[in-house]
Chains A and B, each alone.
Chain A
Amino acid sequence: MMTQDLSQDVLTPIWLTLALASSTTIILLIVGTPLAWWLARSKARWKEVVAAFVSIPLVLPPTVLGFYLLIALGPNGPGGALASLWGARTLAFSFPGLLIGSVFYSMPFVVQPIRNAFEAMGDRPLEVAATLRASPCRAFWSVAVPLASPGFLTGAILGFAHTIGEFGVVLMIGGNIPGQTKVLSIAVYDFVETSQWATAHLLAGGMVVLSFCVIFSMMLIEKRLRQARS
């Protein structure tokens, strides 16, 4: 009984965290790539304003971001209006709400490396592709994406890892609902609060190992990709 409880207490947050981090990463790759492309290639002056907004989560205390998200996702915000479509009152304190929060919170970590990679590539490869009759769409997929692949990899891994590590935003908009919003970082906090040190150790140690593996493999893969490109 005890072991089953423990495994529930430990495994559910792990699974939830991985689900949140992978969905966030996928959404950010889909949304962030066109945004990074526009930031890298547009000549619009106000694009840096957009870039600054994207990067705000880097400096903003997560509780501040979480506070605004709470309002936006709540019954009186756009999130509430959206939730009313399927009869719910609010998007806050739910997995979709958490996902929306994570997307905003982790966006700079995905957009920035991809933008840098597109900028580092310069205009020339795309010009060459155009003079070889490649449509802008073909040039994007056959030249820009492969050349920027180290940036995509860095962005995806940073976005994934950063979502795993998020705490403040989750606390503000997700609360602590087991199986729905109780992610790893919150679970560790909970175990410590309730003096379940052994379980806290297990989770915390696991996080350290996982984070190390993620960062280390990213560095290795990136190094290899860069060698292949340079």
Chain B
Amino acid sequence: MTKENKIAFLFKTPLGHFDLDVALDIPARGVTALFGPSGCGKTTLLRCISGLNQASVGRLVVNGEIWQAEGYFRPAHRREIGYVFQEASLFPHLDVRKNLLYGSNSKKLITVHDFDYIVDMLGLGRILNRSPHNLSGGERQRVAIGRALFSEPKLLLMDEPLSALDKPTKEEIMPFIERLHENLQLPIIYVSHDMNEIEHIADYLVLMNEGKIVASGALADIQSDPNLPLVNYHDSAVSLEGSLVDYDAHFGIAKFEVHGGFLNVPSCEIAIGVKRRLKVYASNVSLSLENIKSSTIENLIPACIIDMKETNPFQVTVVLRLGRQGDGARILARITRRSWETLGLSINAAVYTQIKAVSLVRKEY
């Protein structure tokens, strides 16, 4: 990372029972998720980045621009950020259109094209003249996202934007957030305690606990690092980036190329070349030593064991890399300790992974 495309921060500030004490460089592109249990300091970190909180010790450099240093603090309203709060927090005395345009620079009036583009992307066309009182929870949060975007931020901060919403509303909003990610060249820092949301949108993951950063790195690397807690989760999984190479319309099976192999995924028809994020749960992967051809399992890919972790006394989580040379994408397999010992598996062993199910994380819109 060069100075110009990263966000470098260092913050130390009291935080209830412990201190927030973090220092990290994160990429200034894509979605960086801050993940950790409630009260671990994620929101405080986000507020320090936004300038809403002033850490007692702080340094913040965004794309080479100093926002905070010793003896210098740029106040929130001079930072080019957008902030989406957990609650939409719309201005109740303004209608949707005025809420959206509150932060847009009146001097270089936002062009009609930009306005329509964002309004369309967030599906706000039909509610522009409504008052915030008459909106559903999901509509409100979409307006809040739009309002943040119209202030033309160089960095979008989202503080658990879905956690106050019920499940159907979450699923209604998720595609809009995914669209942000795909359509706008805007770095996003996304706070969440829901791994499922993170698997949808994050590219880069920062794990936090009790005010400290436990680990950070590309999403799949953190998901599959046996020394980090995510591999022990009951529903631990790894996200893979796949591009569609073939579609079998007769059986409705899409063939995706991922690093180190191909995955067959039941899917509606999608265009060749399309990139999608796939998710493989550790519990859906089993291992065999031979290439079993006669099986109902769609995916059988050679792989190499690179690590393993005892999840509990009777279960192990195996970290594998796809491909005969073991140089492809990492996935996890959850198997019993008895299988591990009976098959005589070991690190560096070559095996076949049987993947019972692959989910398409990003759906079509």
Using Cβ atoms and an 8 Å threshold, which residues of chain A touch B91? 125, 128, 143, 147
Interface size bucket, B side? 20 to 34
CB distance from B159 to the nearest CB of A (A): 11
Using Cβ atoms and an 8 Å threshold, which residues of chain B touch A43? none
CB distance from A121 to the nearest CB of B (A): 10
Within 8 A of B (CB), among A75-132: 124-125, 127-132
A127 and B103 CA atoms in complex are apart in Å by 12
B85 on the interface (CB 8 Å rule)? yes
A105 and B175 CA atoms in complex are apart in Å by 59
B147 on the interface (CB 8 Å rule)? yes
A130 touches B75 (CB 8 A): yes
Stretch from A62-70, A133-141, A208-216 that touches the partner = A133-141
A229 touches B92 (CB 8 A): yes
User: Looking at B75, B76, B78, B133, which has the most chain A CB atoms within 10 Å of its CB?
Assistant: B76
How many chain A residues touch the partner (CB < 8 A)? 20
A205 on the interface (CB 8 Å rule)? no
A143 and B80 CA atoms in complex are apart in Å by 20
A146 on the interface (CB 8 Å rule)? yes
Within 8 A of A (CB), among B157-203: 157
Contact with A along B115-136 (1 / 0, CB 8 A): 0000000000000000001000
A147 touches B151 (CB 8 A): no
Using Cβ atoms and an 8 Å threshold, which residues of chain B touch A147? 91-93
Q: Of A130, A136, A139, A229, which one neighbours B93 at CB under 8 angstroms?
A: A229
B83 touches A128 (CB 8 A): yes
Q: Of A125, A134, A146, which one neighbours B103 at CB under 8 angstroms?
A: A134
B304 on the interface (CB 8 Å rule)? no
Using Cβ atoms and an 8 Å threshold, which residues of chain B touch A134? 77, 102-103
A131 touches B83 (CB 8 A): yes
CB distance from B209 to the nearest CB of A (A): 26
B52 touches A132 (CB 8 A): no
Looking at chain B's contact residues, the main secondary structure is loop
B148 on the interface (CB 8 Å rule)? yes
B93 touches A131 (CB 8 A): no
Using Cβ atoms and an 8 Å threshold, which residues of chain B touch A136? 77
B76 touches A127 (CB 8 A): yes
Using Cβ atoms and an 8 Å threshold, which residues of chain B touch A143? 91
CB distance from B148 to the nearest CB of A (A): 7
Using Cβ atoms and an 8 Å threshold, which residues of chain A touch B89? 124-125, 128
Q: Of B77, B105, B133, which one neighbours A130 at CB under 8 angstroms?
A: B77
Using Cβ atoms and an 8 Å threshold, which residues of chain B touch A139? 77
A84 and B197 CA atoms in complex are apart in Å by 74
A132 touches B103 (CB 8 A): yes
Q: Of B76, B105, B133, which one neighbours A131 at CB under 8 angstroms?
A: B76
How many cross-chain pairs have Cβ atoms below 8 Å apart between A and B? 60
Contact with A along B11-26 (1 / 0, CB 8 A): 0000000000000000
Within 8 A of B (CB), among A208-230: 228-230
Using Cβ atoms and an 8 Å threshold, which residues of chain B touch A124? 85, 87, 89
Q: Of A129, A131, A135, A146, which one neighbours B50 at CB under 8 angstroms?
A: A131
B41 on the interface (CB 8 Å rule)? no
B237 on the interface (CB 8 Å rule)? no
CB distance from A60 to the nearest CB of B (A): 37
CB distance from B130 to the nearest CB of A (A): 14
Using Cβ atoms and an 8 Å threshold, which residues of chain B touch A132? 77, 102-103, 147-148, 151
Q: Of A128, A228, A229, which one neighbours B85 at CB under 8 angstroms?
A: A128
Q: Across the two chains, which residue of chain B brings its CB closest to A149?
A: B93
Within 8 A of B (CB), among A17-60: none
B52 touches A133 (CB 8 A): no
A124 and B102 CA atoms in complex are apart in Å by 15
Q: Across the two chains, which residue of chain B brings its CB closest to A142?
A: B102
Q: Across the two chains, which residue of chain A brings its CB closest to B50?
A: A131
Q: Of A127, A135, A229, A230, which one neighbours B52 at CB under 8 angstroms?
A: A127
B329 on the interface (CB 8 Å rule)? no
B82 touches A131 (CB 8 A): yes
Using Cβ atoms and an 8 Å threshold, which residues of chain A touch B50? 131
B81 on the interface (CB 8 Å rule)? yes
Q: Across the two chains, which residue of chain B brings its CB closest to A225?
A: B93
Contact with A along B67-82 (1 / 0, CB 8 A): 0000000011110111
B85 touches A130 (CB 8 A): no
A229 and B82 CA atoms in complex are apart in Å by 25
Q: Across the two chains, which residue of chain A brings its CB closest to B84?
A: A131
B102 touches A131 (CB 8 A): no
Q: Across the two chains, which residue of chain A brings its CB closest to B52?
A: A127
Using Cβ atoms and an 8 Å threshold, which residues of chain A touch B83? 127-128, 131
A134 and B51 CA atoms in complex are apart in Å by 13
Q: B: which residues have CB within 8 A of A?
A: 50-52, 75-78, 80-83, 85, 87, 89, 91-93, 102-103, 105, 133, 147-148, 151, 157
For the complex with contacts A124-B87, A228-B93, 18 further pairs of A-B residues with Cβ separation under 8 Å are A125-B89, A125-B91, A127-B52, A127-B85, A128-B83, A128-B85, A130-B75, A131-B52, A131-B82, A131-B83, A132-B77, A132-B102, A132-B103, A132-B147, A134-B102, A134-B103, A147-B91, A230-B92
- List 9 contacting pairs A-B, 8 Å CB cutoff, sorted by A: A127-B76, A131-B83, A132-B102, A132-B103, A133-B103, A134-B77, A139-B77, A147-B93, A229-B92
Q: A: which residues have CB within 8 A of B?
A: 124-125, 127-136, 139, 142-143, 146-147, 228-230
Across the A-B interface, the 3 shortest Cβ-Cβ residue pairs: A132-B103, A131-B83, A130-B76
